[in-house]
Structures are given as structure tokens and as C-alpha cells.
């Protein structure tokens, strides 16, 4: 009977630990998607823990555009380039 109680306690602890890890991962992934910050430094401890658990790291030198603005600056630059390209391909209005 004591072995059954010990096994139950160990499995309950393991299930709680796994649920906690999955909870941290899901919160971290949601924050990364919302903030578009995967190419910049982690914004808080939860996203840093989520990156560590997923094995994701950012190797960006400090002070570069990706480290300062992250994906938002890159996205704005891509949109500006896209607008410039579309302006050049349109026929001129008479």
C-alpha cells in the first residue's frame, strides 16, 4: 500500500511539472507571436524561459537593428520597400 501511495505522489508531481512547463511554453509562444520579437532579445523572464525550453536562441550583436527594433523594424522596412517597388512598376498616369 505504501508503494502505491508513493507511486501516486510521484506521478502527481510529474504531471504537475509537465503541466507547468507546457503552460510556460504556451504563454511564451503567444507573447512572441504577439510582439513579433523572435529575432530580438527576450522581453521578459517568461519568454526567456520559453526560448530556453524550446532551444531557441538569438545571436544578434547588441546595437544592431534587429537587437534594437526586432521584427517590427524589419517589417516596416519590408513594407516600405514593397511600396517603393509597387510604385515603380505602376504605369504613370496621364
In a domain, 17, yes or no: yes
34 in a structural domain: yes
User: Using CA atoms, how far apart are residues 3 and 27, in angstroms rounded to an integer?
Assistant: 36
In a domain, 31, yes or no: yes
pLDDT, tens digit (0-9, with 9 covering 90-100), for 42-88: 888 888 888 888 888 766 566 555 555 555 566 666 677 767 655 55
Decide: 15 and 23 in contact? Cβ < 8 Å.
Answer: no
Give the pLDDT confidence score for residue 60 in this predicted structure: 58
- Reported confidence tier of residue 40, pLDDT bands at 50, 70, 90: confident
Number of domains forming the structure of the chain: 1
* Domain range enclosing 66: 2-89
Predicted model pTM: 0.53
Residues with Cβ < 8 Å from 24, sequence gap 6 or more?
A: 46, 49, 50, 53
The mean of the pLDDT values for the chain is 78
**Nearest-10 Cα torsion for 64, 69, 70, 72:** -140
Identify whether 94 is part of a domain: no
Amino acid at each position: 500500500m505504501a508503494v502505491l501511495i508513493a507511486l501516486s505522489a510521484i506521478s502527481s508531481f510529474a504531471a504537475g511539472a509537465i503541466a507547468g512547463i507546457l503552460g510556460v511554453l504556451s504563454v511564451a509562444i503567444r507573447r512572441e507571436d504577439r510582439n513579433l520579437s523572435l529575432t530580438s532579445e527576450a522581453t521578459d523572464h517568461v519568454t526567456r524561459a520559453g526560448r530556453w525550453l524550446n532551444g531557441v536562441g538569438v545571436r544578434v550583436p547588441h546595437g544592431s537593428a534587429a537587437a534594437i527594433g526586432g521584427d517590427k523594424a524589419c517589417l516596416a522596412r519590408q513594407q516600405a520597400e514593397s511600396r517603393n517597388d509597387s510604385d515603380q512598376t505602376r504605369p504613370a498616369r496621364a
